[in-house]
């Protein structure tokens, strides 16, 4: 009687032991925010937000102006 009441719990335990680490690795390796990737400039992020419709033209112009002003200072 390998899969009695205790056997079911043991099987579930080993499934969890095997699947949880695989799931965690998958979560940490696939959740990448492209706006924070290496080599992305603040100007590119602002332009992407404008392209996605998150901000309007006035906000984009203000952000680019502010970024240019702070980089020049």
Per-residue pLDDT of 4-41, as tens digits, reads 667 888 889 999 999 999 999 988 888 665 555 566 88
At 49, the pLDDT band (50, 70, 90 cuts) reads very high
| pTM of the predicted protein model | 0.46
Which pair of structure tokens corresponds to residue 12?
């579930």
pLDDT at 2 over 70: no
* Listed residue (46, 45, 51) closest to 63, CA to CA: 46
Q: What angle do CA 6, 22, 15 make, to 5 degrees?
A: 10
Cα 29 to its chain centre, rounded Å, is 9
């Amino acid at each position: 009687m390998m899969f009695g009441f205790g056997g079911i719990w043991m099987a579930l335990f080993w499934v969890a032991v095997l699947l949880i680490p695989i799931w965690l690795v998958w979560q940490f390796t696939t959740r990448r925010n492209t706006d924070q990737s290496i080599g992305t400039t603040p100007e590119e992020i602002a332009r992407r937000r404008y392209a996605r419709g998150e901000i309007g033209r006035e906000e984009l112009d203000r952000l680019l102006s502010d970024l240019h002003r702070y980089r020049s200072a």
